[in-house]
Every structure is written in C-alpha cells, then in structure tokens.
Amino acid sequence: MHTINVRVTHQKADVAALEAFAFPDVKAAVREIASLPSVKECVIVQTCNRVEIFAAAEDVDVAYHDIIDYVMDKTISKMKEHLRHKQGVPPEKIVEHMINSSKMLHDAIESDFHSAALHHLLRLTSGLESMIVGEDQILGQVRDAYHLAYGAGTVGEFFKNIFAKAIHVGQRARNETEINKGAVSIGSAAVELAEDILGSLKGKKVLLIGAGEMGTLVAKSLVEREVAAVVANRTYERSVKIAQELGGETLRFEEVGEGIKKCDLIITATGAPKAILTEKLVEDAMKGRKRSLVITDVSVPRNVEEGVGKLGNVKLLNIDDLRSIAERNKRVREMEAVKVEAIIEEELSLLEKQLYHIDVEGIVKAMFKEAENIRKKELQKAIKMLGDGIDKKEKEVLDDLTRVIINRTMSPIASKIREAAETNDSASIKTAEKWFLKR
C-alpha cells in the first residue's frame, strides 16, 4: 500500500481558489473518494487555508488520476453554479470563464507520493506547513479529520498507523521544542493585522461575527488587548458565552446591520456557506457615516461579498492579507523549525519501517498459517502411527516440540521478508508472495 497527498493550500492558492476546491460536505466527499476503485483508504483535512486529500492505494498513478478527475469535476461544477446563479454570467460566457480559470485551478494543486506524502503529513501536524507556523489548531484539526474519516468507514489499518504517528509527531514537536511558544493563530493574526492598520484597538468598537472555533480564537486575542467587543452568532446562546468571556455585549444575528453602523472593526469568522455581509447591507449601514470601517474576513467560503471592498471608507481584508503577519511569525520560529525537522526525520524513518512491515505482514501470516496446517496434519499422522501406546502428556510434548520447530524454522524467513520490505527489495517480496500467497 502507498500514500498519496493531493492538496490546495495557502502556499499556492488564494482565497478564491480555496473556496472553489473546498468540499461543502467533507463526510460525503471522503466516502465518495474512498469508493473510487483505485482508492483503499481516505482522509480529508479541510481548514480555512487548506484542502488536503490523503489516500491509500496499491497503484498510485491510477489513484492520483482518479482523485484529480473527481476533484476537478466537483470544482468545475461548483464554479459553473457560482457563475450562473451568483454572478449572473450568461451561459455563452461561462465556457470562456472556465477556460480562463482552468490554469489557475491546475496551478493551485500540489501533490506528493510515498515518503514525500508522509513527510508532508508530519510537517502538517507539527505546524510547519501552517500559514501561521507553529500554531496549535492544526493538530486538533488533523485529529478531527481522522476521526471523521474513521466514522465514515474510510480508514483501515494502514492509515490508522500513519495518522497515529502523525499526531504523535505533532505532540512531540510541541513538547520538545518551542515551535508553538507565543505563536499566533489565524484568529489572533486577524486581530494583529487590524491593529497594524488602525494603529491601535484601544477605544475602538469591534464587532465579532461568529462564535465557533475561529471566533473563539479571535475573542481570546481581543481579551489580551483588553478590547470589549460586540458578538453576533446565529446561535444566540453561543454568542452570549463568548461575550461574557470578552466582557462585551451580544447582538442578535438579524441585527448585524445596526452593529455595523456603530463599529470601527468587523471580524467575520463563521462556517456559513455564503456571504452574510452583502454589499447592500454594508452600503446601507455606511450611509451618512464619515469614519472608516475595517472588515477582516477569515472565513472560507468568504463571509463578505467582494463588492464591499469597493465601498467608500471601507477596507476589506481576507485570509490572503494575513501573509505579512505569517511571514513575521515565521522568522521568529526559524531555529525551532530546524529542531522540529530533526524530530520529523527520526519519526519518518520509524514510520516507514512500520509501514513496510504492514505491507508484508500478509505474506508472513500466510506463511505461518501454511506451516501450522502442515504441522497439525503431520502431528496427527505421527500420533496415529504411535497408536494406543501414547498418553496425553506425551501428546502435549509432541505438540510443543513440533510447534517450536516450526517457529524456529519460519521466524528467520519472516525476518528476511521484513528486511526485504525495509530495503525495498521488490524481487524478494514478489518471490515470497509467489511461494506463500499463490500456492
């Protein structure tokens, strides 16, 4: 079995490309990919700045092309729907738009195979692949992605071992280095970026829309800056909880328009599938207002319509604009990243040996099973030949003796088969398969 990683991340994709590739229903997507004939197991890691498919397959070339076909089909269908219904592009122009977008889509896709895919996963859980290097959230997000796939029935022994190792490496990186010491999150980076633009948040009125995981991270960062914000969330009870932590106020979701009129900064961080701050809503709220408004949207899909950024006195920021904060954070962690890489290399070597053993374990089991069948058959013949002159104790001695002979004879062969796997001696493995799996 081999590992494939197909991904679209902040490294090469902007927020528009991430939106296009993101799966609206990850559980359905992981089941559909796992049902492809060439794919044996599948896990999807999807966050605000990455969509990553990890797949296990016997033939990586076939599986890769099947996954790309699946992803592109879903992405193109989504983009056509967006152009037709949300942007009102006439049918005759849609093909032209899609041709222009195809290169962008293909250029955004990255892929790794075999050890390179495993290495990428270990870097991912360690926080080295994050936009905000060293952030802790990705470790929990990978763990959640694995549990979702496990619950969907798309994980077997192969990925069970791989993701257990990946999570272990992420924990080691944080326990044995300072890669995450003082590290910012996407949520706190959004606040830091707003602070850079506004100069200071002191005395500013902040509206936080969203009280989920990302909204909570934003709230924590606001608390550190002693900013009392107004919180709005579709689930009012959730917004009350966050507002209490902030020492701020709550606003019912349907009253967001009124909240816009009074604030200097809006941070949106919801899981809404479409924009919640429309151009018309913000335009109406800005009528008669002279002071400027900063909106930072850290959601994917975006929570704010693009047209909002064209309104007077409004500055609209999104995930793409966090790169300056990310680069600043990355420079601080360069020395710790070297230490993390050493841990990754050590653990990757151990993981590869473990996986190679899994690959040939079927051969080893078949070999011992065949030997055991022969032992039992020949033991019964011997006992029968000895007749009534043999008692129970003597039968047990014979049973133990033949079992020891089999184990001592077969164990060195099993070790050689495992060694062949570790050294990638495919010729020896094929011979072993021929002898013990195809008899």
Domain at 97, CATH number: 3.30.460.30
Residues 139 and 217 in one domain: no
**pLDDT given at position 81:** 66
Per residue, what are the HEC states of 264-320?
CEEEECCCCCCCCECHHHHHHHHCCCCCCEEEEECCCCCCECHHHHHCCCEEEEEHH
Angle at which helix 236-246 crosses helix 213-224, to 10 degrees, equals 20
Amino acid present at 412: P
CATH code of residue 302? 3.40.50.720
Which of 146, 167, 182 lies at the terminal end of a domain, its last residue?
Answer: 182
Which of 295, 330, 365 lies at the terminal end of a domain, its last residue?
Answer: 330
Q: How far is CA 37 from the centre of its chain?
A: 23
User: Would you say residue 162 lies in a domain?
Assistant: yes
Residues 36 and 88 in one domain: yes
> Is-catalytic flag, 48?
yes
Lookup: tokens for 67: 């996954």
Q: 275 pLDDT band (50/70/90 cuts)?
A: confident
Residues 88 and 160 in one domain: yes
**pLDDT given at position 160:** 93
Give the C-alpha distances (Å, rounded to integers) separating 53 from 68, 267, 331, 376.
10, 29, 29, 47
Q: Number of structural domains, the chain?
A: 3
Residues 305 and 358 in one domain: no
For 181-228, the pLDDT digits (tens) are 865 778 888 888 888 888 888 888 888 888 888 888 888 888 777 777
Residue 54: HSE in the Cβ half-sphere, 13 Å Cα cutoff? 30
Residue from 6, 20, 44, 48 carrying the catalytic annotation: 48
Residues 58 and 139 in one domain: yes
Residues 124 and 235 in one domain: no
For 321-336, the pLDDT digits (tens) are 888 788 877 887 888 8
In whole angstroms, give the CA distance from residue 392 to residue 352. 47
**pLDDT given at position 135:** 87
For 356-402, the pLDDT digits (tens) are 777 777 888 888 888 888 989 988 888 888 887 788 888 888 888 88
Helix (H) or strand (E) holding 135: none
Residues 142 and 223 in one domain: no
Q: What is the DSSP letter of 254?
A: G
Residue of 249, 257, 196 lying closest to 219 (CA atoms): 249
User: Average per-residue pLDDT in the chain?
Assistant: 85
Residues 23 and 165 in one domain: yes
Do residues 70 and 32 touch, judged by C-beta distance below 8 A? yes
| Residue numbers of the domain that contains 310 | 186-330
